[in-house]
Amino acid sequence: MFLEFGLTDDFVNTQYAPLAALLAHYQQNLTLKPLENVLVSMRERDFSPSDKLIQLVVSILAVCETQFKINTRLKHENKLAEAGRWDRFSDQSNLSRTLDGLTLKQIDRLRGATTEIWRSLSLTMQHDWRGYLWLDFDLSGLPCGKRAEKSQKGYFAGKKTSRDAS
């Protein structure tokens, strides 16, 4: 699959260009292929069950906090859908029906497929454990900016840090 990114005069464009590139990369490297092992006994109309599961993954990556937001955020993103080799995104109700139709055995297979995906992408799982794994924690207690996303004042026992500390 060849994708070209750049400016265009087309009326329709996508705000999810980085996600389209990631999805194309996943398609090329068959990263999401384990989701095809989750066999869901459903009627295939426009999308296969594995396509619907992949679209749910894409919706999570597109920060759709609920399935309802799939209709408002992704439904009209045809360029992003093209990166996934679909004509369009499925309606959130169809995606919801797919999840509702999963049996416990299929949910277990879905859990196994997602575990296989994250393990293949995890740098920690690929680490050479004969050496050290360096972790860097910031325990200084310096205040974060007022506009930092979801930031809140925390508690640090002991010495207070002044606001003008750098």
Question: pLDDT tens-digit profile of 1-46?
Answer: 566 767 777 765 678 888 999 999 998 999 999 998 888 877 778 8
Question: pLDDT tens-digit profile of 96-127?
Answer: 999 998 999 999 999 999 999 999 988 888 87
So where are the chain's domains?
17-121
Amino acid in the structure at residue 115: T
Alpha carbon distances (Å) from 83 to 34, 45, 58, 68? 19, 20, 11, 22
Residues 6+ apart with CB under 8 A from 149: none
Residue 69 phi/psi, 5-degree rounding, is -70, -15
9 or 84, greater pLDDT: 84
Residues 6+ apart with CB under 8 A from 21: 3, 5, 83
> Residue 123: what pLDDT?
84
